[in-house]
Amino acid sequence: MLEFNDATIRFYDSRDATEMMRFMAGCSLDETLRFELEAANSSPGGPQGQLGAKSGLRVSRLCLGTMNFGEPGRGHQGDWTLGIDDARAIFKAAIEAGLCYFDCADVYGIGASEKVVGALLKELLPRHDYVLATKVAMPMGRGANSGGLSRKHIMEGVDASLKRLGHDTIDHLVIHRHPHGIPGQVETPIEETLEALHDVVKAGKALYLGASSMFAWQFAELQLTARLHGWTEFVSMQNHYNLVYREEEREMNPYCLRTGVALTPWSPLARGILTGAYQGGFAGGSTNRSQGQDRGRTESLYRGEHVFDVAARVVEVGQRAGLQPAQVAVAWLLAQPGVTAPIVGVSRVEQIEALIQAAGAQLAPEDIAYLEAPYRPVDNLLSLGHS
């Protein structure tokens, strides 16, 4: 019996019904199987995964993070932000390689990132060919209700994001933190947040919901409260997870795996540490980001004594396997249970091309064990207020 995998469907999706029938009628079983095998290996960044068992949404194995696209000099990451013309080449390379999942947030560049992302996606792809995610919660100004997860800010924030994006619908709306974990904001009752998010979905302004960086018990409480009231549940968790910060393996990852929630980790390269950008220590920054104001945040996130030992092993394994350090780090993450699509950030075309290639790489079991061995437990950053 002929089986159809994701690659076959990608081929069919790219042609109209007449072409599809002509293709099927003209191929023997052996030819169809040969084509299927070739197609399966042709587009490592293409749609290969379901966004968890709680949704029917299909996404690429990598998601392009867009924090560094917007208006140079604007926002907390302004010293390493790329404008729309520089971003265009990266988007084109990602799209040509089959990547279709793009992650943004209202707070990136204080809205500038959403403007760039929305404009480029509309310019480069038909609407049905990509999945657009953005986030809400972080303060967008000094007003009393300019941030948080109150009904007022959710409704106003989503409308503002849609306007900046130039879209009618957000495919994947993510709350940037738990309602009680947003800097400088009051602790909104979770029922208020959940009902407002449900109303956004029912109004057609967002199709799916996701969450980011909170304690596992908090996420479980949100999910169960939503289910109790018949409100829309979250289909994904965008958590902080990589080779040098693995505390999520204790509770959040197992909970999501057990309940069918997709993991879409942020900072898979540990803000450049796992690419070699820091050259053995925080004082050795070799990029604009690692030498700029962002270095302080990186130091606050990665405190363990194991950090640069692991980074050195990533380089070593890469040399043995013929891979770049960043490719090793991403390949390791994609091999972890429940991980659907890590969110990768890049500043050059060759970086996204290399990471997409990593989506098809497989590390040897002994290399995985070697990479993991130096890790030592650290304080959960959520308890310190840094994540």
pLDDT tens digits, one per residue of 296-305: 777 878 888 9
In CATH, the architecture of 47-384 is Alpha-Beta Barrel (3.20)
Mean pLDDT over 277-296 rounds to 63
Whether residue 281 is predicted with pLDDT greater than 90 in this model: the reply is: no
Lowest mean pLDDT among 12-21, 177-186, 240-249, 322-331: 12-21
Mean pLDDT over 70-78 rounds to 82
Structural contact between residues 212 and 266, judged by C-beta atoms closer than 8 angstroms = yes
Q: Which residue is catalytic, options 101, 108, 130, 208?
A: 108
Mean pLDDT over 142-158 rounds to 97
Lowest mean pLDDT among 26-40, 167-181, 186-200: 26-40
Mean pLDDT over 177-206 rounds to 97
CB atoms within 10 A of CB 126: 8
In the prediction, which pLDDT does 289 show?
55
Mean pLDDT over 127-149 rounds to 97
* Active-site residue flag, 108: yes
Q: How confident is the model at residue 47 (pLDDT cuts 50, 70, 90)?
A: low
Percent of the chain with pLDDT over 70: 83
Top pLDDT among 101 and 9 is at 101
Mean pLDDT over 345-360 rounds to 95
In the prediction, which pLDDT does 45 show?
64
In the prediction, which pLDDT does 206 show?
98
Q: Which helix (H) or strand (E) holds 33?
A: helix 29-40
Going from N- to C-terminal start, the domains of the chain cover 6-40, 47-384
Measured CA to CA, the distance from residue 372 to residue 243 in angstroms comes to 7
Q: Which helix (H) or strand (E) holds 174?
A: strand 170-175
Q: Report phi then psi at 29, rounded to 5.
A: -60, -40
